[in-house]
Amino acid sequence: MVSIATWNINSVRLRADQVVRLLEQEAPDVLCLQEIKTPESHFPHDVFEAAGYVHRAVHGQKGYHGVATLSRIPLREFSRYDWQDNGEARHVGVELLGAGQGLILENVYIPAGGDIPDREANPKFGQKLDFLERMTRWAAAIERPTLIVGDFNIAPLDCDVYDHKALLKVVSHTPIEVAALQRFADAHGWVDLGRQHIPAPERNYSWWSYRSYWREKDQGRRLDHMWASPQLAPQSRAHRFVEATRRWEQPSDHIPLITEFAL
């Protein structure tokens, strides 16, 4: 079995100890991090080296965005796509070389898209839609079994948010974003592992606002995802989310997802 995790950590240097705590408790073979907010030169390599995650692919930048894949399994960096088309560090792809050999693992941080769901009034929203369009063109040409994981910043299903009607005009759950994500899904026939293993309408949130979670209001959204190629999805054996991390001291606003594969 090979276990693969994803987590928007919201600053890896600030929360390196929490990442190690997760690695010790859940022991994934591979962990994909988003929003690391640091260039590779300042990434806490020694911390994860000591934890046994000696293989790493880091695509970061100062203060913003950034992704990193940590692994106990040998890997090689496979790709860095600039789907944002502006040089931001939002993707890194690796190929597993040990257990699970040959699997392509894509780690992505899709833009949040600002506050106004209108391309003309809010350029960030347009950038998000363009990012998804570039991803969709890429997905249509995939030829190898692939797992794409990360913070998609979209909750696609009605039951993926705490209040569907209230959030229809809120960026992350608008019909235009959901339609764009569906086009991406259709381009490769991706299987949403979160909903394969935790079928709708079961609760399956991965993000809660800092403004509401401390009040113990369950105002969550499912923004983080793990999607598999059609030929890979049947090899997934289990999937879970680790909500306990959201109650740790000074936590990320996202929680980790973990899928186990018979590879």
- Does the pLDDT of residue 186 top 90, yes or no? yes
The confidence band for 215, taking pLDDT boundaries of 50, 70 and 90, is low
How do residues 79-101 score in pLDDT, each as one tens digit?
A: 999 999 999 999 999 999 987 78
Predicted TM-score of the model (pTM): 0.96
pLDDT of residue 100: 78
pLDDT of residue 99: 79
Instruction: Write down the mean pLDDT value for the chain.
Output: 96
pLDDT of residue 36: 98
Q: In a 3-state reduction of DSSP, which class is residue 164?
A: helix
How do residues 220-232 score in pLDDT, each as one tens digit?
A: 999 999 999 999 9
CB 117 within 8 A of CB 169: yes
DSSP string, 109-134: E-----S---TTT-HHHHHHHHHHHH
The confidence band for 209, taking pLDDT boundaries of 50, 70 and 90, is very high
The runs of H, that is alpha helices, within the chain are 16-26, 45-50, 123-139, 164-167, 175-188, 193-197, 210-213
- Does the pLDDT of residue 8 top 90, yes or no? yes
Range 172-199 average pLDDT: 98
Please name the residue that has the structure tokens 């997934």.
236
* Domains of the chain and any CATH numbers: 2-261 (3.60.10.10)
Whole-number Å distance between alpha carbons of 98 and 52: 15
Q: Which of 5, 14, 2 is nearest to 38 (CA)?
A: 14
Q: CB-based burial of residue 187 (10 Å sphere; 0-12 exposed, 13-18 middle, 19+ buried)? A: middle
pLDDT of residue 131: 98
- Does the pLDDT of residue 214 top 90, yes or no? no
pLDDT of residue 208: 95
